Copies of this chain bind each other. A is one copy, B any other.
Amino acid sequence: MSVHDARALPPTLADVAERAGVSRQTVSNAINNPDLLRPETLERVQDAIQVLGYLPNRAARHLRTRASHLIGLRMLPAQEFTANATMDRFVHALVEASREAGYHLLLFSGGPGKEETTAADLVRGYDDLLRSTAVDAFIVTDTYLGNPQTRWLSERRAPFVAFGRPWEDPDATHPWVDVDGAAGVALATGHLIERGHERIAWVGWAESSFIGQDRRAGWERAMAGAGRSIDGLAVGVADTVAAGREASAALLEEVRPSAIVCGSDTLAVGVLHTLADRGLHPGRDVAVVGFDDSQVAQVVPGGLTSVRQPLEQVALELVRALEALLAREPYDAAGTLLVPTLAVRGSSG
């Protein structure tokens, strides 16, 4: 690979054609339909491509084929710490997954500013990219916020796939991939039951979010499956460290659970604080499990056992769905539900 001055214009099809002694379309065919060429010609063209370091001009190709090979992903402003970390891990996974499919990720941000957030503003970023034909499709991540994006994109018949179930709209027909939160929490709860815990409490979100309900359902299911009562063992609060701390303090006073399953690592960290306050040892005195396997779970003393979302797999499935969608191939499953794993660490014994 020779060092080629980037200010000089890159070689074009015509340059390659001239060097190989063929016409431009033959070069085009060599790239897009190599089977059409006689092997001998093909090799000659490929040599020329190699020597010149030719790569098709994306703008020209995009203009002609109406395919940018770009996927739009909206980055929300920094949020609650656990949610953000998950998103960031997801972006990494997505970059890899889309690369293998020949796509690049185009990042854009929310509305025009924090001040006004009308319905139109909420979809502005999507709308602009769509109308300027900047991306081939979107990957939508914030389906749970109850915002109008998915519906708007559907109505507009814009190609997109979602990370997250269409909770509020069971009739939605777009492809989606989600992680089975209930299964993850059931896994965590089962793990604690196996370890002999009887009174396993739940500290989750107060907001009646679908995700929160889903995760809690996993705890209930596992408890019921083991014939355990859940009376007074559940509490719902805001998703903050302070709330987790207070809620767990009250639980320890009142129902004295031997283990606590949390709806998020944020809440679990709050529980760990409470244990520290009282000189209790996580895992020995009270077992604790979080959700999301954040960095905090990994470095906290002794480690925090946590449910880990298979984001790499989510990314892979999403890109696969997107490819099918853009190729107008029949898409067999509307939605895919992936099962998380449990990262077991000291806090569960």
Give chain A's interface residues, CB within 8 Å of chain B.
1, 3-7, 10, 53-60, 62-63, 68, 70, 75, 77-78, 81, 84-85, 88-89, 91-92, 95-96, 99, 104-109, 120, 127-128, 130-134, 152, 155-159, 241, 266, 269, 272-273, 276, 294-296, 298-299, 301
| Oligomer: number of copies | 2
19 A-B contacts (beta carbon < 8 Å): A1-B127, A6-B156, A6-B157, A54-B131, A55-B131, A58-B132, A59-B68, A70-B106, A75-B91, A81-B298, A91-B91, A95-B107, A99-B108, A104-B134, A105-B106, A241-B299, A266-B299, A269-B299, A294-B295
Nearest neighbor of A94 in chain B, beta-carbon distance = B107
Shortest beta-carbon distance, A113 to chain B, in Å? 10
Contact B133 A59 (CB under 8 A): yes
Residues of B within 8 A of A156 (CB): 3-6
Nearest neighbor of A125 in chain B, beta-carbon distance = B99
Q: A152-B3, A276-B301, A295-B85 are contacts. A105–B104 as well, Cβ < 8 Å?
A: no
Query: Which residue, of A4, A241, A298, has the highest number of chain B Cβ atoms within 10 A?
Result: A4
CA distance A40 to B53 in the complex (A): 50
Contact A299 B75 (CB under 8 A): no
Residues of B within 8 A of A294 (CB): 295
Contact A59 B63 (CB under 8 A): yes
Shortest beta-carbon distance, A75 to chain B, in Å? 5
Nearest neighbor of A107 in chain B, beta-carbon distance = B105
CA distance A290 to B1 in the complex (A): 43
Contact B57 A133 (CB under 8 A): yes
Shortest beta-carbon distance, A3 to chain B, in Å? 5
Contact B107 A53 (CB under 8 A): no
Residues of B within 8 A of A128 (CB): 55
Q: A106-B105, A294-B295 are contacts. A58–B134 as well, Cβ < 8 Å?
A: yes
CA distance A5 to B157 in the complex (A): 6
Nearest neighbor of A265 in chain B, beta-carbon distance = B299
Q: A3-B152, A95-B109, A107-B104 are contacts. A133–B58 as well, Cβ < 8 Å?
A: yes
Nearest neighbor of A1 in chain B, beta-carbon distance = B120
CA distance A273 to B10 in the complex (A): 55
Contact B10 A133 (CB under 8 A): yes
Residues of B within 8 A of A95 (CB): 75, 107-109
Nearest neighbor of A85 in chain B, beta-carbon distance = B295
Shortest beta-carbon distance, A65 to chain B, in Å? 9
CA distance A294 to B91 in the complex (A): 18
Nearest neighbor of A81 in chain B, beta-carbon distance = B295
Residues of B within 8 A of A54 (CB): 131
